[in-house]
Amino acid sequence: MLRELRVSRRSFPLVAPFRIARGIKHVARVVTVELCQGAMTGRGEAVPYARYGESMDSVLAQIEGLRAELAAGMGRDELQARLPAGAARNALDTAMWDLESQLSAVPVWARLARPPRAALVSAITLGIDTPERMGEAAARLGSARLIKIKVDASDPAARIAAVRAAAPDARLIVDPNESWDVDLLRQMQPALERTRVDLLEQPLPADADEALLGFDSCVPICADEACHVTADLPRLRDRYQAVNIKLDKTGGLTEAWRLLRAARAEGFRIMVGCMVCSSLGITPALEIAREAEFIDLDGPLWLQDDYPGGVSLREGRLTPPAPAFWGG
């Protein structure tokens, strides 16, 4: 039976500006894919990311270039060979997983031999602001058990200290988004130890992380921009102690699952992250999150309006949607 491909752009205004070291976001712009076969429709979502040379137009062009093959029944294995890791492959791959779960009446979690999805502790992200405002924002989080602090190279110690003072019991992830150099990384070691930071995410530019070889950090360092797919793992050894798995980087759940297993086998600690997106983009990542030590999937919480019945935050835990939302 032939399949129908539907592709669209969507924009989700944010509840507040989201500021990181490389810029400010006011709207989440995503690509949505629907693969229809008979009465079944599989859905996927992805976020084109300029840091990786992507745009809405380039991602849409990649998807449209496979329209005939997708209509004829292209599967996930062929998709891995036809498209590189990235947003376009993610949207298609996750739509395929969703469609397959409906056609087979076997949920994605069962096909991965895992228990049903359950509520998980997720980081709540604080964008860059003054130390005072970041401290106030942390205090408003109340029951948050894990907080992710966005910083740049401008007095990060003061921002981290303000958050720690306002949230004395929360676990902390600090994310400079490649904005530090190795000298600042050295200077920050006492502050990171003093504030009991649990994880430091991609402090140096990915193309300058050779400075991490042999670096003895007081806090585990996690590869984000430096880690996309399983083939990246060999160069990460002796530089990073953890990897951040994002479906928009791996090109979908298929490669994300391979990366998870390979990274764990090599002794890396596991983080699962996201772009700012809707619950449709987050729900497939929950299949990886159940295996992760650090979970950062609060993207939909930044949206003014998410999909009805999407993920929700309750007492610091991210509650998954109903099974029919994605993946059975």
Closest CA to 195 of 160, 235, 246: 160
Assign domain 4-111 to its CATH architecture: 2-Layer Sandwich (3.30)
What the block records as the tokens of 22 is 């490389």
Instruction: State the span(s) of the chain assigned CATH 3.20.20.120.
Output: 120-325
Radius of gyration of the chain (CA): 19
Q: How far apart are CA 224 and CA 304, in angstroms?
A: 27
Instruction: State the span(s) of the chain assigned CATH 3.30.390.10.
Output: 4-111
Q: How far apart are CA 223 and CA 204, in angstroms?
A: 10
Q: Which amino acid is at 251?
A: G
Please state the φ and ψ torsions of residue 191, each to the nearest 5 degrees. -65, -40
**Three-class SS of the chain:** CCCEEEEEEEEEEEEEEEEECCEEEEEEEEEEEEEEECCEEEEEEECCCHHHCCCHHHHHHHHHCCHHHHHCCCCHHHHHHHCCCCHHHHHHHHHHHHHHHHHHCCCHHHHCCCCCCCCEECCEEECCCCHHHHHHHHHHCCCCCEEEEECCCCCHHHHHHHHHHHCCCCEEEEECCCCCCHHHHHHHHHHHHHCCCCEEECCCCHHHHHHHCCCCCCCCEEECCCCCCHHHHHHHCCCCCEEEECHHHHCCHHHHHHHHHHHHHCCCEEEECCCCCCHHHHHHHHHHHCCCCEECCCHHHHECCCCCCCCEEECCEEECCCHHHCCC
Give average pLDDT by consecutive 10-residue segment, the chain, 328 residues.
Answer: 92 94 92 97 97 97 97 96 98 98 97 94 96 97 93 97 97 98 98 98 97 96 98 97 98 98 98 98 97 97 96 91 96
Known catalytic residues are 150, 246
Centroid of chain to Cα 219? 21
What the block records as the tokens of 254 is 């298929």
pLDDT of residue 23: 86
Q: How far apart are CA 243 and CA 245, in angstroms?
A: 6
Does residue 223 contact residue 202 with C-beta atoms inside 8 Å? Answer: yes
pLDDT of residue 99: 98
CATH superfamily of 120-325: Enolase-like C-terminal domain (3.20.20.120)
| Alpha-carbon separation of residue 275 from 29, 200, 210, 255, 313 (angstroms) | 10, 18, 26, 17, 17
Q: What is the dihedral of CA 52, 58, 60, 61, to 10 degrees?
A: -140
pLDDT of residue 142: 84
What the block records as the tokens of 266 is 């090599």
Please state the φ and ψ torsions of residue 271, each to the nearest 5 degrees. -120, 145
Q: How far apart are CA 237 and CA 241, in angstroms?
A: 8
Within 13 Å and on the Cβ side, how many CA atoms surround 2?
A: 6
Please state the φ and ψ torsions of residue 226, each to the nearest 5 degrees. -85, -10
pLDDT of residue 60: 98
